[in-house]
Structure 1
């Protein structure tokens, strides 16, 4: 559970809620807090919240889990983190976030791919405004550069499936025993630190 210890108490006083994260994710968050303080953590939380909010308005709100809006959310979140903290830190953090071994390997593969597309968009457009990034990410979803999960639980290009015609995860949750994850584990000590801007 993160945050913990004194950092956790301070973060909770500032309005952060404890959540279950991987060990590597916690280390990256602790490092971010140490380098940038509570405002750094708030900024990261705001980026995550903005990605969620903007994704709800994309693709008529269809595919919020394992569909088009979800693909947009992950890519936009990673694009914004890349602009703010650098590509390496955004990659380490997003990958650590996806390493929870109770998550099924198919949606994890979707998220990892879409996260990478978002980071690539930010890297190619370093001076883009948040609105421009959102437009670029939305176009990437429409152009099939992202992946979604179809009704057969298969990853497909985002242009091969119509928004709203993807997996109904809310009605059919993924299993949590996940033999497909095999030896997947926490990635360990992070190698990146947030860029200082």
Structure 2
């Protein structure tokens, strides 16, 4: 294993990575490490955009533009779609899509280790939601597109309000619901990758 990391280290150094960046690389999950290895010249820009997407979605969460729900709601959908749209602008569609898939593979590993993402343990329905919204985000721009960040924010938000993305079905209290509107008891979700949560269009009105 040490020899593998040595080879990767030499590869990244020759590709323009510093030793400090290599330390960050070592902290990544294996799916993201492989993504970086195959996209060494795009990794720095991808990291910048990932941080940007988190900052922008955190700001959106403080407004009434969307539903303020960052874990399965519209703000969650926004974060993924905006992330993919910005990535496609800067590094292209194939690299953006594979990074999104690497992130979801990482989430499965987090589930197995019972680690939290956005305050909850990841599950299959959350991953399906993220991948769906990633794909929509990729359709909202193209590489080299000059759409401003502000313009892109509104483009993503409008797509969500028109129901073009997916969110996890909840009631006004934020409790998860089944397809037939039955409340899902939190205890029944503990430790399960597959459960009876469901996806609905992103303009779904909570009751």
Q: TM-score range by the shorter chain?
A: 0.5 to 0.7
Question: Are positions 1:160 and 2:167 aligned together?
Answer: no
For the pair shown, which has the larger CA radius of gyration, 1 or 2?
2
Q: 1:51 touches 1:77 (CA, 8 Å); kept in 2?
A: yes
- Aligned with 1:69 (options 66, 72, 75): 75
**Which residue number corresponds to residue 29 of structure 2?**
21
For residues 113 and 19 of structure 1, the distance between their equivalents in structure 2, rounded to whole angstroms, comes to 27
State the Cα deviation string for residues 115-153 of structure 1 (Å, max 9, x = none).
001100013993312221111011111111111112213
> CA 1:116–1:130 in 2, change beyond 3 Å: closer, same or farther?
same
| 93-102 or 8-17, larger mean C-alpha shift | 8-17
- Aligned with 1:85 (options 88, 91, 109): 91
Aligned length: 154
**Which residue number corresponds to residue 48 of structure 2?**
46
Q: CA deviation at 1:99?
A: 2.2
Q: 2:92 touches 2:143 (CA, 8 Å); kept in 1?
A: no
Runs of 4+ in 1 over 6 A off after TM superposition: none
For residues 82 and 66 of structure 1, the distance between their equivalents in structure 2, rounded to whole angstroms, comes to 23
Structure 1: which 5+ residue stretches go unaligned?
A: 166-197
For residues 88 and 126 of structure 2, the distance between their equivalents in structure 1, rounded to whole angstroms, comes to 22
> CA 1:72–1:17 in 2, change beyond 3 Å: closer, same or farther?
same
For residues 44 and 201 of structure 2, the distance between their equivalents in structure 1, rounded to whole angstroms, comes to 34
TM-score norm. by structure 2 comes to: 0.64
Higher relative contact order (CA 8 A, sep 6+): 1
Secondary structure of 2:29 counterpart: coil
Q: CA deviation at 1:50?
A: 0.6
The two structures, once aligned, show a CA RMSD in angstroms of 2.7
Q: CA deviation at 1:161?
A: 3.6
> CA 1:107–1:11 in 2, change beyond 3 Å: closer, same or farther?
farther
TM-score norm. by structure 1 comes to: 0.67
Q: CA deviation at 1:85?
A: 1.2
Structure 2: which 5+ residue stretches go unaligned?
A: 112-121, 170-175, 178-196
